[in-house]
Structure 1
Amino acid sequence: MKAKQLIALAPEIYLVLATLYYWVLTANFFNPFAIVLLTILLYQLIFRKFATGIIIASIFILLNLYMIFALLSELSEFTEPNENYNNLLFIGSLFIALNLLAGIFMFWKYLKTKIV
């Protein structure tokens, strides 16, 4: 694969890696959410269908916008900023931002292929 092809597949590859990361963190081998999500993402990575690309990207964007509110809710439970607060703020914000960027790039990529 050429570098340009890998860059074009970067959002899907990142989302597959993020799903694997989530699956490992759950410490549950049979995680139906991770299995279904990973199957859908791998299908999209292999076949690159327009409709599924737009749907996956839209769902990921909406879920991560929801996760922003979940992060803010968790942060509001701290009475004073400490190390756990800072870790949650930094790592949570970074993870959500990367997911949002991957979803936006994926959405734009499939939208652009339909327009052109």
Structure 2
Amino acid sequence: MTRKLTAFENAGNDIPTQATEEFVMNPEPADSGGPEAGAISLQGASVGFFSAHGIYVRTIQGDASLNPGSRCFASITQVNAAGTPTWGGPTMHVSNVVPRNGEAIVVGHIQWNTPLPVRVSLFWI
């Protein structure tokens, strides 16, 4: 399946104002080992717990199935003392995920003035 995507220019606000170009995206073939035609198989998952504020750079350990060719996805959530997800007001995001052999480097930002306990969940296919 081929998808046509349109790029937009932003006139200095959050509202796209003008289409600047179109390009065609041809998705890579999905893993054929799944139960459905075109299914993608989860290869692994891992979590990392740490405290941080501002920009953070952390290495999250995976297993041998995680490598530079893996497609990695990460999410971040604030946790309480028991490690349970909670929300206390700060905004947090993941900016970059760099898969390596057996680990991934995760870079992001926590908009808070003091270190907060967080959990980064990592998944790879």
TM range (shorter): under 0.3
Q: TM-score, normalised by structure 1?
A: 0.20
Where relative contact order (Cα < 8 A, 6+ residues apart) is larger, the structure is: 1
Higher strand share: 2
Higher helix share: 1
